[in-house]
């Protein structure tokens, strides 16, 4: 299979809305693509028009600096150029927490990087789970309301059903977005766009996170998610112990525009 064919198969797989259907296929297609890519082709893929391809190619250049076989101690990865590339390609500064964690990434082999938990994850306890700083949850009768500054919106039943999960929130008078991730594992989770006046769910999308390769939770593990609004996209930055990821969604209908995660390669450690 040629490079162009592999790229098209990846773009098709990434566009699948259901993570169970898409993640493993995408992982294997990325392996097929990069196993046959020369250094020149890899550099060319960094400038591909599809961010899913471009961001993964940029990370692949980091991953290829890791020794093939397991080392006694993990090494610190040089991710500064990668971080600069992400900001330039997406046209937004990466969230401070995400940037700091990725800057400290370590790896013992090519099976995947590890990302140390930051001292401050910047979530506040709302009484109904943790949420982005500045976000509170109040009860009025049988209803819960999400509040940011002067904006107060009824929490949709779909969101309430997942509490007390974490909530990463972007809310103002014009629009509202609520991601409800797991607190200790970057497994797939939902993202909602809600009407800030009525609380009605306008659309729901699925975040893949680090997918299913592997799912590990428990003491010492964490998961942080930040939402960034940019032009016609909502960009979701996430990081946990075993993976960092970025996913972009169209604000109009929640359709996925791109997905990137450092864990696409964990099934193939010794390439």
pLDDT at 157: 94
**The predicted structure's pLDDT at residue 254:** 96
Which pLDDT value is given to residue 15?
76
The 10 Å Cβ neighbour count of residue 119 is: 6
The pLDDT score that the predictor gives to residue 136 is: 95
Q: What residue spans of the chain are helical by DSSP H?
A: 3-14, 19-35, 39-45, 51-63, 80-90, 96-103, 157-160
pLDDT tens-place string over residues 115-129: 999 888 889 999 999
CA distance 253 to 257: 11
**pLDDT recorded at residue 269:** 40
**Ranges in the chain, pLDDT < 50:** 267-271
Secondary structure of residue 181 in the 3-state scheme: coil
């Amino acid at each position: 299979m040629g490079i162009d064919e592999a790229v098209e198969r990846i773009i098709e797989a990434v566009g699948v809305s259901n993570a169970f259907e898409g993640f493993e296929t995408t992982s294997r297609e990325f392996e097929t693509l990069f196993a046959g890519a020369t250094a020149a082709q890899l550099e060319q893929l960094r400038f591909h028009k599809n961010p899913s391809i471009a961001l993964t190619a940029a990370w692949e250049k980091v991953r290829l600096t890791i020794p093939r076989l397991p080392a006694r101690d993990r090494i610190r990865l040089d991710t500064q150029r990668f971080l600069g590339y992400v900001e330039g390609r997406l046209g937004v500064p990466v969230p401070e927490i995400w940037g700091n964690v990725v800057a400290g990434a370590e790896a013992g082999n090519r099976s995947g990087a590890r990302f140390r938990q930051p001292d401050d994850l910047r979530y506040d306890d709302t009484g109904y789970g943790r949420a982005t700083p500045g976000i509170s949850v109040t009860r009025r009768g049988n209803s819960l309301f999400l509040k940011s500054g002067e904006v107060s919106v009824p929490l949709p039943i779909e969101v309430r059903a997942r509490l007390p999960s974490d909530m990463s929130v972007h809310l103002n008078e014009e629009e509202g977005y609520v991601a409800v991730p797991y607190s200790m594992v970057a497994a797939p989770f939902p993202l909602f766009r809600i009407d800030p006046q009525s609380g009605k769910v306008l659309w729901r999308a699925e975040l893949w996170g680090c997918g299913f390769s592997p799912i590990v939770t428990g003491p010492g593990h964490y998961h942080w998610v930040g939402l960034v609004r940019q032009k016609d996209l909502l960009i979701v930055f996430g990081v946990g112990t075993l993976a960092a990821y970025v996913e972009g969604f169209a604000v109009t209908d929640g359709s996925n525009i791109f997905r990137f995660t450092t864990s696409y390669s964990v099934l193939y450690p010794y390439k």
